[in-house]
Structure formats: structure tokens, C-alpha cells
Amino acid sequence: MDIGSEQWKKLVEEGAGTLDIHIERKITDQFSIHAVELIKWNRKINLTTIIDPVEVAVKHFLDSIISVRIIPEYSRLLDMGSGGGFPGIPLKILIPSLSVTLIDASRKKISFLKHIIRDLKLSGIDARQIKTGELAREKTADNCFDVIICRAFSRLDKIILQAKPLLAKDGIIIAMKGKLSGSEIKTAGKYKTSWSVIQYKLPFLELERSLIIIKG
């Protein structure tokens, strides 16, 4: 199976169905463009270690869209450490009304993100080469987000520390992680925030994942 092929698209659609997420063919067409360009650019710059077609479909795209039901439409969303555009770009494709900001410290990764945004003809989305702390220090009205999301970004306590200054009133932080350790939860507990944990398995690969939703 090749990335972006008809078989690959059907795999994504079937996997989304097992997660109770319906996606139309025009969505998987866009996912396909993103995936093909990701692998093409990855030959020159380090965007991902995941290159197997099934793993790209599951670990990048299906994992990215798992939070779609808890993100309100028209939200201002920040994707911290977006890398190859995950989860921000798939979420923008699924929820076009989102206003999305992708940030990463790597200039090369931002070049890729700007390229794929143009290729997909997406509007209401921007990519910036900046660290989270630097963005917080700008202190502008634009740096106030309803949803801040990150995937495999850092320890939970560090995610809360960096995201809190950028969170709008009543906003949420969504941390996408593997299996949570008790020590990580205990360390993050010092922030006394209200949170919930959704545990799930990625289809086909049966990998355990955790979605931590932290209220501002």
C-alpha cells in the first residue's frame, strides 16, 4: 500500500469510523496530499520517523482527529510544537471554522507547514517559527486561545506551565500522550487545575493513548 493511494484513503476512513468519526472522501483527499508531501519533504528535513503507510495513517492522521468532538467550532486553536502539522492541520481540515496557529521552533518545519497550508488552500491558519514562551511574552490580544493542543510535546506539568499564559478564559488545554504514568500525574497536580482523562486505543495498531483535557 502506498501513502495517498485509494487503499490508504479507505484505511483512514475505516479507522475514523471505528473512532465514531465520519469523514468524507474530500477530507481523505486532503489528508492524502498532506501525507504525500510529508514523506517527500522528510527525505530532506527531519519531520517524522514514522514513514510506514499504515503507521502514517494511524499515528499521524487518526490520532490527530481523536479530539474533534471536544473542540468547539469557531475556536481559536494553538498547536504547540506542530512539527509536521499534527494535530493542527487535520483538525483544521475537519473543522474549517477553526482559527488555527501552528508554532514550532524549527525554521525548516515552519517552511514545510507554510508549504502544505498553500498546497491545501487552507485559510484561517498560520504557521510561526517561535517558542511557546516567546509567544506568551508578546502579550497581544491575538495570543489568547480557546484551545491549546499538543502531541508528544513535553511532560504534563511543563505543558500546563507553558500553555496557561496563552489560554483564554474558560479555555481548555488538550495534551495528547501515550500511557500516563502516576508520577507524571502527581507532578502536574501541583497546579491544582481541573482535568479529565480519556483513554483510547488507536485502530489497527491497538496502541494505548491518553487525551488529557485541562480546564483553564
The pLDDT assigned to 154 comes to 77
pTM of the model: 0.93
Which grid cell is 38? 510529508
Mean pLDDT value across residues 142-166: 87
Within 10 Å of residue 192's Cβ, how many Cβ atoms?
Answer: 6
- Domain spans of the chain? 66-215
The pLDDT of residue 52: 98
Q: What is the mean pLDDT of residues 92-101?
A: 98
| Alpha helices for 70-150 (secondary structure H) | 88-94, 107-119, 132-138
pLDDT value at 156 more than 90: no
Nearest to 102 by CA among 122, 119, 118, 86: 86
Question: How high is the pLDDT of residue 153?
Answer: 72
Phi, psi of 154 (to 5 degrees): -170, -175
Superfamily of domain covering 66-215: Vaccinia Virus protein VP39 (3.40.50.150)
Q: Which residue has the higher pLDDT, 50 or 184?
A: 50
Q: Could you give the percent of the chain with pLDDT greater than 90?
A: 76
